[in-house]
């Protein structure tokens, strides 16, 4: 019983995965619903990574989809163009897919690092414009590379992304973000957001930590991009325009800044809502817009701003121990 209690969260996660998988296998979950669930997972990874930069570090980046695009293309190039995995024995295909996701993350992370180096000196709206510019630059550059199909896009990507991989990578991202925030890296980033001058005066190399958080977020976006490409099986550069970056900003604000739980809720709910509003036909986007406006007016801190689910909190020493130490 105690074992169950201590590992409650893991058990709930595994059970909910098994439930979804069973529904899927039994054919109750149609492919349309399954697709939405998987997109929600990918969007959760994207929103959490954006939260690290915009929420926790307090830097305003609006080009996040660019990194997703870089990751999606890099990863698809590994499986589709470079290895032609579909002609390989089945048991080789999945490992190559996993490697391709990491490659996607690393390429996106590297580009994030190179872009962050000069841009993160800027603050606020100036940084926003520069990240917007770089995001569009990435998309436009992909259009110029004939090797990956240029503006026509890259087709024939094998469908490796399934419920299991999305579930696994979403959970990994959630934990990675939680551990990042609850370490000296996270505290340094939050202190930069709170007061950059004071942060520097406390010996914190603010440029270094801004770049670390930006690079880490780009890496996560790259992995999400890899999952995305192997889900849609077709990539087109214009998918990753600034409109997509804006989507993630909306998910982030609706969920609540600086809350990992908020990002989960924001991306999860807002991916699903427009789909469930389809019966409204042309009124769908109007209603979606109205709902967003109402949310921001009634609850500007978002679904879960400033709060975290229990399992995302880390209590290092319980209060009793602390008070004993203090007294």
Partner 1 sequence: MALLDVANVSIQFGGLKAVSDFNLALEQGELVAIIGPNGAGKTTAFNMITGLYKPTTGDIRLNGESLVGLRPNEFTARGIARTFQNIRLFNEMTVLDNLKAALTLQAKYSLREALLRTRKFLKIEDEIEDRAIEILKILRLDAKIDILAKNLPYGEQRRLEIARALATNPRILLLDEPVAGMNPNEIEEIIRLIAEIRESFKLTILLIEHHMNVVMTIADRIKVLDFGQTIAEGAPDEIQNNPKVIEAYLGRRGRK
Q: Does 6 engage in binding with partner 1 (CB under 8 A)?
A: no
Burial of 2 (0-12, 13-18, 19+ CB in 10 A): exposed
Q: Does 319 engage in binding with partner 1 (CB under 8 A)?
A: yes
Distances (CA, A) of 172 to 82, 166, 167, 224, 262: 27, 10, 9, 12, 17
- Segment near partner 1 (CB under 8 A); pick from 63-71, 79-87, 194-202, 297-305: 194-202
SS (H, E, C) 2-42: HHHHHCHHHHHHHHHHHHHHHHHHCCCCCHHHHHHHHHHHH
Of 98, 95, 94, nearest to 75 by C-alpha is 98
Q: Which is nearer to partner 1, 278 or 316 (by Cβ)?
A: 316
The residues in 116-145 that bind partner 1, with binding defined as CB under 8 A, are: none
Of residues 7, 30, 141, 179, which one binds partner 1 by CB under 8 A? 179
- Partners of 155 in beta bridges: 234
What is the total count of residues that contact partner 1 (CB under 8 A)? 31
Tally Cβ neighbours within 10 Å of residue 242: 19
Q: Does 191 engage in binding with partner 1 (CB under 8 A)?
A: yes
Q: Which is nearer to partner 1, 39 or 204 (by Cβ)?
A: 204
User: x/- string (CB under 8 A) for partner 1, residues 26-65?
Assistant: ----------------------------------------
Closest separation in Å from C-beta 10 to partner 1: 15
The residues in 198-257 that bind partner 1, with binding defined as CB under 8 A, are: 198-206, 212, 216
Q: Does 190 engage in binding with partner 1 (CB under 8 A)?
A: yes
Instruction: Report the alpha-carbon distance of residue 79 to residue 212 in Å, rounded.
Output: 28
Q: Does 325 engage in binding with partner 1 (CB under 8 A)?
A: yes
Q: Which is nearer to partner 1, 65 or 257 (by Cβ)?
A: 257
Q: Which is nearer to partner 1, 73 or 216 (by Cβ)?
A: 216
Element (H, E) at 75: helix 64-76
Angle between helices 90-119 and 64-76 (to 10 degrees): 150
Distances (CA, A) of 181 to 24, 219, 261: 34, 16, 13
Q: Does 307 engage in binding with partner 1 (CB under 8 A)?
A: no
Q: Which is nearer to partner 1, 171 or 190 (by Cβ)?
A: 190
Of residues 27, 31, 90, 184, which one binds partner 1 by CB under 8 A? 184
Distances (CA, A) of 209 to 60, 122, 181: 15, 14, 12
Instruction: Report the alpha-carbon distance of residue 116 to residue 112 in Å, rounded.
Output: 6
Closest separation in Å from C-beta 60 to partner 1: 17
Q: Does 176 engage in binding with partner 1 (CB under 8 A)?
A: yes
Q: Which is nearer to partner 1, 16 or 317 (by Cβ)?
A: 317
- Segment near partner 1 (CB under 8 A); pick from 30-38, 154-162, 179-187, 289-297: 179-187
Token code pair at residue 3: 């074992």
Instruction: Report the alpha-carbon distance of residue 18 to residue 67 in Å, rounded.
Output: 32
Binding residues vs partner 1 (CB under 8 A): 176, 179-180, 183-185, 187-188, 190-191, 194-195, 197-206, 212, 216, 316-317, 319, 322, 325-327
């Amino acid at each position: 019983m105690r074992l169950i209690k201590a590992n409650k969260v893991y058990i709930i996660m595994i059970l909910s995965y098994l439930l979804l998988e069973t529904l899927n296998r039994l054919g109750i979950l149609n492919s349309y619903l399954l697709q939405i669930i998987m997109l929600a997972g990918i969007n959760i990874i994207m929103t959490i990574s954006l939260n690290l930069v915009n929420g926790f570090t307090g830097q305003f980046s609006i080009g996040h989809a660019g990194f997703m695009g870089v990751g999606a293309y890099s990863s698809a190039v590994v499986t589709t163009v470079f290895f032609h995995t579909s002609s390989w024995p089945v048991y080789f295909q999945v490992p190559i897919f996993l490697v391709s996701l990491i490659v996607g993350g690393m390429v996106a992370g590297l580009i994030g690092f190179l872009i962050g180096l000069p841009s993160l000196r800027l603050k606020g709206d100036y940084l926003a414009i520069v990240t917007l510019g770089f995001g569009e630059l990435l998309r436009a550059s992909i259009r110029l590379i004939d090797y990956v199909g240029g503006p026509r896009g890259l087709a024939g990507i094998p469908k490796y992304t399934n419920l299991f991989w999305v579930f696994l990578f979403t959970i990994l991202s959630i934990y990675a973000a939680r551990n990042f925030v609850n370490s000296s890296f996270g505290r340094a980033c939050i202190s930069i957001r709170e007061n950059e001058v004071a942060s520097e005066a406390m010996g914190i190399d603010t440029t270094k930590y801004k770049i670390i958080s930006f690079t880490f977020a780009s890496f996560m976006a790259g992995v999400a991009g890899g999952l995305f490409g192997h889900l849609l099986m077709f990539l087109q550069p214009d998918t990753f325009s600034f409109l997509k970056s804006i989507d993630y900003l909306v998910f982030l604000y609706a969920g609540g800044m600086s809350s990992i739980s908020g990002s989960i809720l924001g991306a999860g709910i807002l991916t699903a809502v427009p789909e469930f509003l389809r019966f409204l036909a042309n009124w769908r986007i109007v209603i979606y817009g109205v709902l967003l406006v109402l949310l921001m007016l009634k609850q500007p801190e978002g679904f879960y701003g400033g709060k975290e689910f229990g399992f995302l909190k880390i209590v290092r020493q319980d209060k009793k121990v602390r008070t004993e130490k203090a007294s």
